[in-house]
Structure 1
């Protein structure tokens, strides 16, 4: 952990926290405070421990640059969101963006963002997660880091479970204790995240231990973890066997982080020669690493917890893109064009009645070819059908649902992550053009970001809620002739959602 540094530059904002002072940087009308540690570095004896709150420091800590990130290995060489990996040991930190540093009387609403990356990758230091636009609209914004992959979520004998989840909790506790110093209101905190981050939001929504930490939640393309204990144990034992160590805390502690990163994918996906087997496993059982139903922090599946009413007092928005995974299946269009979708889906939807109902409900997608059907099925299984289940499970509790349907001119689909730069209103940020083209519609960003701001500030995004009219879905980027709100925007996933 870098030592605090003295700074006499009076034109840089200074904030006093419960453990010391930090000095950020002005960026026009708002300020950024980057890389503020909320926990001690999770290395050495603390590697597989629950996070330990950061110790107080003397002097002023410089907060002008992003801190080290837990990400050491990206999901692919080319990622849809630019999420830099920053070396260093003090990886549990927050970044705060605020228009009112040092003014607790301002009491602005707060947004806390949890990044995605399949619970194995991703970084809070992405330029897409910069809170500048939310600051412009009177919202203090925080991005949060957490341990990833095996170090964050692996089942280890003798170590606390769900270490990454415990990182979220401690980070949110830090927000409760310190956000007023940045002009934020700890009583008006909204948590939000995309993909695995959206899944984190749903996990927290269903956790009794997290209820005091936020007021409302927005899950974008939420991929829920809910890893079964037996499955998590099996992956850990396989990793230990591949590494040649005992499946214990001491055994895993003997492995350098780089070796764990080499092996964690192999441990979770042993049948790499059969890509369909890997896809079926993910679609059937979910992501291999992530929040585990441990009987301690997470006592039951998230959907069951939400159905029982936990988090029911908190306004919730659920959103997804129309074709999150179709980009991945496009590469197989040539091989799949002669295979009827009904045959291809037999392995993944064994129940004939369900399969036929799903294909009947997705006639327009069938006309686009088998690859398009497979991509939509993967999207529906991982994101859109679970979204509908959660919305239904909430019953009359305040819940809004939306779809992002604007197709990327680069890929031809409303793909995974396409909604993020619109939600943050950062269309001019680095690498947005790689996903959204050279001229993404600012009016769409105004609409989606405006809904996000309204939700964070007022607890309602501005359209008819699903909880009052089941199926009601706000369309972002749909056909110009289509209504803004559909009476049943997720009708095509009903055969899978039940």
Structure 2
């Protein structure tokens, strides 16, 4: 395995390297740079190249607030540091022969604002070592990827994902993968993109299975998305059109977006509950690229031939409230219970259901429910109604008292990138957590790989009557859905496309 591996793709030959018995290829372009005349457009298939292209380094990150590449400041994207060539993907394979291994394609989250496949938390080596081919990708985020812009297709970031999945279909066999056995898996915004992919006609046939981890339940109407993009463009003194926004480099758009994020709660009366979230972007239900919100479409039978694994962590919103300055003020608590609960007496119902919780703790539970837990549970209900096979899980294990089983912990366990040493070094780590993490992570990873391989996890399918749930703790259990108090509060609510609360 000392010889550097070379694989011929549809665009040309790429050269990777062997790293601890895993063949790794980084920074393979799957689409042309999204700049110049291609800015705000659908992804364009990458042009062929001659010779051998080294695939040894991750490609540059897409335009985002923390990106310092020269493309961020260039309108044309024609820059000297190569940072415009950002639509790339990466492959980890344990066997480059004709093995026909299951393929797991990771769609990273990041509030639709951040995306960088070089993130070491999402390194695919350990997962690939379990017997699958792992693929990750860069896709456009922020206004470039998800802003509603007149003259541009909606959901450009998801169109990028579709282009990457098309690349997988065309090329993954050469990397030891089976293009007929592709599982997409993602967390947070990545999970919501997967729920959208399930019901998008353009994505039909690109994957066989899907794993949705902590899916946020925000999908925007055209009117709401237009109002948001109009407000962001107004920070630059222009209209939200391709012609006017294309005059500004990505950094100007990320700065304008950040300015709007800082004052989003001020828009809650017109924009509705999404104004209380950390991001102004979500997939747009435009009737074309994304015809309907996932819950309705799945209930009507969309994706009934796709095996689904859906779930969330127990303490989703603790990630945000445990951060410095994250403790909610009385005003934030009042606003949340005024706008996020599923009924006018929601505040009373939460006090009744959680009588021993402080107002801040009820705020955390409410945000966990509204943004992640209940959208995920209702998606499982919808998939079952539509006749599709679906399984459900909750991560209840945690390694420290401050964050609990918070948002993002599950993917760190699946990838195996949170080490016992990391756990041991945490200031509030549980006494035995460093010893426990190896087993908990191995169990989750084994279950994910088993699902990707066979489509049949080791526990019973979900249905709305038994609500069978795989609960990951120091010892995994199979039991009825653990968050029954919240489930009852939200039992009559119907998640759907978010629209303007009041016309602006």
Question: What TM-score does the superposition give when structure 2 sets the normalisation length?
Answer: 0.85
Match of 1:496 in 2: 490
Secondary structure (helix, strand or coil) at the match of 1:243 reads coil
Give me the whole-angstrom Cα distance separating, in 2, the residues matched to 1:335 and 1:38. Answer: 43
1:428 corresponds to 2:415 = no
Give me the whole-angstrom Cα distance separating, in 2, the residues matched to 1:63 and 1:149. Answer: 27
Contact map agreement 1:41 1:91 (CA 8 A) in 2 = yes
Give the 3 Å change call, closer, same or farther, for CA 387–87 of structure 1 in structure 2: farther
Match of 2:238 in 1: 245
Match of 2:101 in 1: 108
- The structure 1 residue matched to 2:404, chosen from 413, 430, 435, is 413
1:416-474, Cα deviation, whole Å (9 max, x unpaired): 11111211123339967777958252111111111111101111221111138541111
- The structure 1 residue matched to 2:184, chosen from 175, 179, 191, is 191
Give me the whole-angstrom Cα distance separating, in 2, the residues matched to 1:233 and 1:412. Answer: 35
Give the 3 Å change call, closer, same or farther, for CA 353–236 of structure 1 in structure 2: closer
- The structure 2 residue matched to 1:216, chosen from 206, 209, 219, is 209
Alignment RMSD: 3.1
Per-residue deviation, 1:264: 1.3
Per-residue deviation, 1:284: 7.2
Give 5+ residue unaligned stretches, structure 1.
1-8, 76-85
Give me the whole-angstrom Cα distance separating, in 1, the residues matched to 2:401 and 2:377. Answer: 28
Per-residue deviation, 1:118: 0.6
Per-residue deviation, 1:180: 0.2
Match of 2:4 in 1: 12
1:458 corresponds to 2:449 = no
Matches within 5 A, 1:60-459: 60-74=52-66, 88-101=83-96, 103=97, 105-267=98-260, 270-271=263-264, 281-282=273-274, 287-330=279-322, 345-346=337-338, 348-349=340-341, 351-361=343-353, 363=354, 366-395=355-384, 396-409=387-400, 411-428=402-419, 439=434, 441-459=437-455
Give me the whole-angstrom Cα distance separating, in 2, the residues matched to 1:322 and 1:148. Answer: 27
Give the 3 Å change call, closer, same or farther, for CA 399–169 of structure 1 in structure 2: same
Per-residue deviation, 1:333: 9.2
Deviates more, 1:368-377 or 1:163-172: 368-377
Match of 2:478 in 1: 485
Match of 1:4 in 2: none
Per-residue deviation, 1:413: 1.5
Give me the whole-angstrom Cα distance separating, in 2, the residues matched to 1:421 and 1:66. Answer: 20
Deviates more, 1:205-214 or 1:164-173: 205-214
1:20-43, Cα deviation, whole Å (9 max, x unpaired): 000001012111000000000111
Secondary structure (helix, strand or coil) at the match of 1:106 reads coil
1:280-318, Cα deviation, whole Å (9 max, x unpaired): 733778952122111211111121111111111111111
Per-residue deviation, 1:357: 3.5
Give me the whole-angstrom Cα distance separating, in 2, the residues matched to 1:319 and 1:299. Answer: 24
Give me the whole-angstrom Cα distance separating, in 1, the residues matched to 2:294 and 2:468. Answer: 23
1:27 corresponds to 2:22 = no
Give 5+ residue unaligned stretches, structure 2.
68-80, 493-504
Question: What TM-score does the superposition give when structure 1 sets the normalisation length?
Answer: 0.86
Contact map agreement 1:41 1:92 (CA 8 A) in 2 = yes
Give me the whole-angstrom Cα distance separating, in 2, the residues matched to 1:320 and 1:459. Answer: 19
Per-residue deviation, 1:279: 11
Per-residue deviation, 1:16: 0.7
Contact map agreement 1:358 1:496 (CA 8 A) in 2 = no
Contact map agreement 1:203 1:224 (CA 8 A) in 2 = no
Match of 2:78 in 1: none
Secondary structure (helix, strand or coil) at the match of 1:61 reads strand
Secondary structure (helix, strand or coil) at the match of 1:371 reads helix
Secondary structure (helix, strand or coil) at the match of 2:409 reads coil
Give me the whole-angstrom Cα distance separating, in 2, the residues matched to 1:158 and 1:334. Answer: 41
Give me the whole-angstrom Cα distance separating, in 2, the residues matched to 1:276 and 1:334. Answer: 20
Match of 1:471 in 2: 467
1:340-370, Cα deviation, whole Å (9 max, x unpaired): x899734543835444444433x3xx42422
Give me the whole-angstrom Cα distance separating, in 2, the residues matched to 1:430 and 1:292. Answer: 41
